[in-house]
Structure 1
Amino acid sequence: MRRRLIQSTLAVVLVVIAVFGVSLVIVESRTISNSAQERVDSEALRLASIVDSRILENEDITAEILRSQVGKEQYAVIRIPRKPPIELGVKPEGDVIHYTADGEEGETVTVQEPRSTVTREVGRTLLIIGAVALLAVIAAVLLAIRQANRLASPLTDLAETAERLGSGDPRPRHKRYGVPELDRVADVLDSSAERIGRMLTAERRLAADASHQLRTPLTALSMRLEEITLTDDPDIVKEEANVALTQVERLTDVVERLLTNSRDPRTGSAVSFDLDEVIQQQLAEWRPAYRSSGRAIVSSGKRHLRAVGTPGAVAQVLAALIENSLMHGGGTVALRTRVTGNQAVVEVTDEGAGVPADLGNRIFERTISGRNSTGIGLAVARDLAEADGGRLELLQAQPPVFGLFLSRTPPAHKPDADQPMVR
């Protein structure tokens, strides 16, 4: 592209120089020729006037007296009646420019000038025009190279940006070039890079959340299946199979919830549900793990509370808090329920060292963890709580107290857009 721009610019300049240069040469040649003829004419008339005045005053007319009146490259012949011709200068050879002027006393004056003087002057003019044309070509080449670099370099940068996007590097460059069309392409590429970056971040976040949130249900399901393989009692097999089916349903709910949040984290399916039922389900699910660790998990507080939210999402939030206490806490884990204003609160606490002072509420940020863990569980739990209008907070750092706040007001059902409103 750079070479084509230079060639096209140079071609345009050469065409312009050819058109105007030839026209200028023709005009200047004619002008120089006309000027030379006018010069010879005026010299002949001037010399004839001098001869007339000397004849009228009866003065001598000789070659020595009139020699200074003729130019260096001019030749003049003066013819006076009844006198020999008077020659001034050197007679030129070859083609000449001449003019004959008649005097008032019958004399004639002929002035000649070699046409080579016109040729030399035309040659000097052509040399000047050629030099100007050469300078114009050089300037055009330099400007063409500069313009080609100005246009080709941004295109090379944009191609590199597109290649980086294709190779999985979505960082926008935010580089502009001062050319509206190229800047528009750069804007589109930067916007695409930001969108691709958000999509990749969402995909990585979904993969991380899925691996974290599916770990516990899969572990529990694996334990139930192992129990089935180790017993021959049909009743135990049936009981464990029912529990396994419950785990599968919960696993399905976890997957659907993760997919829903990956599309739009604000989308929820909040309903009014029995909070005790979700808490008891989590207690039953986590007691075996706590017993194997020599610890206990208990519940207390206000009973028969109804809260607004998605039961599966609330179960996942409580599971994340309980698992966090199992991994990082110590002693007995307690789930306490209470009411504050129009909200139902579930507090999860343990007897461990708590959250380090340098972390505080940053504990809910992704990749932030007080120990060697993924740092994803609490971040996902907060997202799940906020999806249905609730919130998850760290109420106390030492000993740790996490509070899940859920509304107690049933959600207002919007009228179906396909059905007319009843008045």
Structure 2
Amino acid sequence: MRKRLALLVVATTSLVTLAFLIPLALLVQMVAEYRAVSAATLRAESLVSVVAASDRSTVGLTVDQVSAGNGAEVTVFWSDGTQAGPARPNAAVELGLAGRSFSVDTANGRQVLVSVQGAPDGPALIAAFVTDHDLHRGVLHAWLILTGLGLLLIGAGVLVADRLAHSMVRPITELSRVSLRLSRGDLSARATPAGPSEIRDVATALNHLAERIRQLLREERESAADLSHRLRTPLTALRLDAEALPAGPDGDRIRDDVDRLERAVSRVIAETRRPDEPAAGCEAGRIVRTRLDFWSALAEDTDRRMSVDLPDAPITVALPADELEAAVDALLGNVFAHTPDGTAFAVKLRRDTSGVRLEVSDDGPGFATDPDALLDRGTGGKGSSGLGLDIARSAAVRVGGELQLGSSPTGGAQVTLTFPIPEQVSASSNPPPLGPTG
């Protein structure tokens, strides 16, 4: 914006300056020519009395004295063809001897002719020649001064425009920085109203918007915390019932599920109270393998072939273990919920330069609708709440990752979760964008 304003001022000032300087430069040239011709005319007229009253020898001496000084070169012509001075006769001299006084341009300057009538030796003509150098003496110097003055005016205009643009761009730049900080989750960012009234109004509105966002998030966190606390009572009753079950595989599995549910509720409460707490990492391979062991029993019951590709080396992701568990359960639950029994599926975990990728694909019919529409809450289609994919996406986005939907090699659905490794999260100066809490 500053560059555009500067260019606009340069163009405008240049046009205005040229509109004044060009006529002024031509006027300077005309004045210089008029001054030189007037001086030559005065010099020629000063000899009229000498030519009219003196003999030719006296006139010759006077012409030599006048021509020896600085100024126009003077020559006197008589009607009998004689002359006193260096100039040569021409058609203008013959016309002047007929009794006319005038000036005429020549190849090297201008000639001023003054007719003298009533001289003792007959009509005479005084010719004063002004060279081009004398005609334009001082013009170049004046033009240089005018050019410098024009450049000075343009420079001053650009400087003033730049200062004015800076006073406008600076608050706009600050608004941009504050907006970026808000988009990255820094709700304490506020803009200082400055600049023109319109920009101050925008800054005030942005501050009100930031405060409103903070208030809404605070209310949402309080609601999530209240809901989590309300779950404590039925969760306690569920735990008592689970503890009353006899020892055995079924009882142990139910008690483990209750423990996992209690940890999830406790984490929701902790996150709503400490929303800015940095996320702790976990070993992704172990979490995925544990959840696959859990879902393998259901896969065997529904006659589903499960392909697993997990690395032997530990892979750490910048996500809490319970959130990764919830994301994996959501993706595997979608496979069992939206594909018929007997549909094979595959789970692949790998690490590359971009981070850690978790792929869940199946041999089912694929996505029946636009995959992008499935990422909106509540639009998962008939028989679906649409929250499964959103849970997985929120877990990835929370630490700077992403969720991608596509087709598997067999034409079924494929969901890819990408997580940054902890080193990438700690090295990044940009916190993740705001997402749903709880």
TM-score tier, shorter chain, comes to 0.3 to 0.5
Structure with max Cα Rg: 1
TM-score w.r.t. the length of structure 1 is: 0.44
